[in-house]
Amino acid sequence: MLPVIALVGRPNVGKSTLFNRLTRSRDALVADLPGLTRDRKYGEGRLGNCDYIVIDTGGISGDEDGIDQRMAEQSLQAIDEANIVLFLVDGRAGLNPADEMIANHLRRQEKECWLVVNKTDGIDPDVAMADFYALGIGQPVPIAASHGRNVTMLMDEVLAPFIVEEDEEAEGEQEHDDSIRIAIVGRPNVGKSTLVNRMLGEDRVVVYDQAGTTRDSIYIPYERDGQDYTLIDTAGVRRRKNIKEAVEKFSIVKTLQAIKDANVVVSVIDAREGVTEQDLSMLGFVIDSGRALVVTLNKWDGMTAEDREHVKTQVERRLEFAGFARFHFISALHGTGVGNLYDSINEAYDCAMAKWSTNQLTKLLEDVVADHQPPAVNNRRIKLRYAHQGGSNPPIIVVHGNQTNALPGSYKRYLENRFIKYLKIKGTPIRFEFRTSD
Ligand code: GDP
Ligand code: GDP
C-alpha cells in the first residue's frame, strides 16, 4: 500500500521547503487537490521504485486561536491520515515550547515518528541536535531541506520497510489473479455511493463485511457475467451506518491509494456542477499513475437539453487530455447507463493488460516508420530498429534505435497515435520509452 508521510512542526521550520524537495524528485507531479484542502497539501514522491504520498501542513504554533486553531486541526488530521510522521524542528532556533506541545501529542499517537532537525547547513549538526533529545521522540536526524543535505538518506531509512524487491514485486503481481480491480473516485456528493450500490446490485455481493478502520477503503469481490471484479469502495458505502459518518467519509489519501491500487478507475463527475478543478486534479493523478480510465458524468437525469449541451461542450474542452477514455452520461440514481459501464471497464482492462510480441511490435514500427521517416539530425537519419513491450497497466512500448534522444516531440506523438490506432488501444494511457544504442 502506498505509504503516506505527514510533515508536521511549527510554522517556518521548513516543511514546505522539504515538501517541494520530496515531490519534485518525481517528474514534477504534484497531486494537489485545491479547494478540498486549503490547509493541507498533497504531493506524490518517488524513491527508487517506491512511490509515496506527502502531506504538508500549515503548522502548529502553540497559539491556537483563530487561524492557528484551524492549522493545528489540519495538522492533526494529516497525522491521522499518515503512516509515517516527520516532525520537523528548526536547528538554528533551538527548542521552542510549541515543539514540546507537538511532541506531547505525537508521543500519545501510535504512529511511526521521525524527529528531523532542519536548517543544519553551515552549523555543527551535533550542536544543533543537542537540544532536541529532550523531546523524547528518539534519535534526531539532521538535514538541510533547502540544500537537500541528508534528505535522500533520511528517506531511504524512512521508506526502508516499504521498498519492495524486484522479484517480490513480480510475485505480488501474480497474486493479483484475474480479478479486475475497479476504483470509483470523485469529489464528495457526486454520487459515488449511489453508483457503487448500482454497480454491485444488491444480490451479487459475496463478502463485504470486512474488518478495517474507517480510514481504509473496503475491497468488495464479486462476479458478473463470469468475470471476477473487486470494487474498491472509497466512499465507504457498505459500512456507513449513520448520516454523520457520511460527512467524513471523503479522504484524499484513500482516493489516491485506491487509484494506485486499481486496474481501472471509474471517475465520477457531477454533470450538474460541471467539470471542476478538483475533477481535473484527480484525473491528472489517474493519468500520471498510468491507470485505465472510464469517465462518468452523473446526475444526467432531469437535466434540460440546453444544460446537457453545455456540459458536453465543457467536457470536450476541459477533458481533452483524458480523450483516450470512454465517457458515459449516466444516472446512478435511476440506473440509466450504468450497465454499459462494464463494457468500457472490460475493454479498458483488456487494453491495459494486452500482451504483444516483439515481432508484432517491430513489424508495426517498421510500417509506421516506412510511412513517415524520422528526421535527420547532424546529417544522420534517426533510426528506429525494433520495439518490445516493457510492461502493462499501463502498456509500455520500448523502442530501440540510434539518436533516439534527438527524436522530436511531434514524431513521438505520431508514433503514439499510430500505435494506439493499430493496436486498437482504448481506455488506457500508453507509454513510450526510447533506448539508444549509440
Ligand atoms: P514552513 O512554514 O514550515 O513550511 O517553512 P518554509 O519551508 O516556508 O521555510 C521557512 C524558512 O526557512 C524559509 O525562509 C526557508 O527558505 C528557510 N529554510 C527552509 N529549509 C532551510 C534549510 O535547510 N536551511 C536554511 N538555512 N533555511 C531553510
Ligand atoms: P458520494 O458522496 O459521491 O458517495 O455521493 P452519494 O452517492 O452519497 O450521492 C450524493 C447525493 O446525490 C445523494 O443525495 C444522491 O441521492 C444524489 N445522487 C446520486 N446520483 C444521482 C443521480 O444520478 N441523479 C440525481 N438526481 N441524484 C443523484
Cα separation of the two ends of the chain: 39
Cell of 306: 440546453
CB–CB of 399/434 below 8 Å?
A: yes
What pLDDT sits at residue 48? 84
Q: What's the pLDDT at 247? A: 42
Ligand in closest contact with the CA of 11: 1
C-alpha distance from residue 397 to each of 26, 331, 413 (Å): 21, 37, 13
CA distances from 265 to 76, 218, 311, 351 (A): 30, 15, 21, 14
ipTM of the complex: 0.81
Atom number of ligand 1 nearest to Cα 92: 26
Q: How far apart are CA 134 and CA 125, in angstroms?
A: 16
Protein residues whose CB sits closer than 6 Å to any atom of ligand 2: 186, 188-194, 235, 298-299, 301, 331-333
Q: What is residue 251's predicted lDDT score, i.e. its pLDDT?
A: 76
Enumerate residues lining ligand 1, CB below 6 A.
9, 11-17, 59, 118-119, 121, 144-147
**Nearest ligand, CA of residue 243?**
2
Ligand 2: residue whose CA is nearest its atom 17:
191
Å from CA of 196 to ligand 2 middle: 11
**What are the counts of helices (DSSP H) followed by strands (DSSP E) for the chain?**
14, 17
What is the Å distance from ligand 1's center to 27 Cα?
Answer: 23
Query: Is 335 buried (19+), middle (13-18) or exposed (0-12) by CB count in 10 A?
Result: middle
Q: Please give the number of the atom of ligand 2 that sits closest to the Cα of 331.
A: 23
Ligand 1, atom 26, residue with closest C-alpha = 119
Three-state secondary structure readout of 372-410: CCCCEECCEECEEEEEEEEECCCCEEEEEEECHHHCCHH
Q: How far apart are CA 63 and CA 68, in angstroms?
A: 6
Question: Do the beta carbons of residue 331 and residue 301 sit within 8 Å?
Answer: yes
Q: Is the peptide bond before 394 cis (omega within 30 degrees of 0)?
A: yes
The bridge status of strand 112-118 relative to strand 141-142 is: parallel
- 351-384 b/e (C-beta count within 10 Å ≥ 16 → b): bbeeebeeeebbebbeebbeeeebeeeeeeebbb
Torsion of Cα atoms, 15 then 18 then 24 then 26, to 10°:
-110
CA 235 to ligand 2: nearest atom = 4
Q: Which segments are annotated as binding site?
A: 9-16, 56-60, 118-121, 186-193, 233-237, 298-301
Separation of CA 36 and ligand 1 centre (Å): 25
**8 A C-beta contact, residue 382 and residue 415:** no
Confidence (pTM): 0.80
Pocket perturbation via mutation, ligand 1, pick of 7, 16, 17, 141 by most ligand atoms within 8 A of CB: 17
Q: Which residues does the annotation place in the binding site for GTP?
A: 9-16, 56-60, 118-121, 186-193, 233-237, 298-301
Question: For residue 86, what are the CA distances in angstroms to 70, 92, 225, 256?
Answer: 20, 18, 47, 20
**Ligand at shortest distance from the CA of 8:** 1
What are the backbone dihedrals phi and psi of residue 64, each rounded to the nearest 5 degrees, phi first?
-90, 60
Per-residue confidence (pLDDT) for residue 32, from 0 to 100: 44
| Ligand 2 mutation pick, 185, 189, 270, max ligand atoms within 8 A of CB | 189
* Pairwise CA distance, residues 396 & 352, whole Å: 10
Ligand 2: centre distance to CA 274 (Å): 15
Q: How many Å lie between the centroid of ligand 1 and the Cα of residue 110?
A: 28
C-alpha cell at 294: 472510464
Instruction: Write the residue with the smallest CA distance to atom 17 of ligand 1.
Output: 14
Ligand 2, atom nearest to 249 Cα? 2
pLDDT computed for residue 309 by the predictor: 96
- 186 CA closest ligand 2 atom index: 3
| Nearest atom within ligand 1 for CA of residue 18 | 7
Q: Between 15-24 and 151-159, two packed helices, what is the crossing angle to 10 degrees?
A: 70
What pLDDT shows up at residue 249?
Answer: 57
Per-residue pLDDT of the chain (438 residues; tens, 9 = 90+): 789 999 999 989 999 899 989 986 443 333 444 444 445 678 888 888 888 989 888 767 666 555 566 667 777 878 888 999 999 999 999 999 889 988 988 888 888 999 999 999 999 999 999 999 999 999 999 999 999 999 999 999 999 988 876 655 555 555 556 899 999 999 888 999 899 889 987 545 444 444 444 556 788 888 899 999 999 988 765 544 444 444 445 777 888 889 999 999 999 999 999 998 888 888 988 998 999 999 999 999 989 999 999 999 999 999 999 999 999 999 999 999 999 999 999 999 999 999 999 999 999 999 999 999 999 988 888 999 999 999 999 999 999 999 999 999 999 999 999 999 999 999 999 999 999 976
List 270's β-bridge partners, or say none: 298
92-113 burial: b if 16+ Cβ within 10 Å, else e: eeebbebbebbbebbeeeeeeb
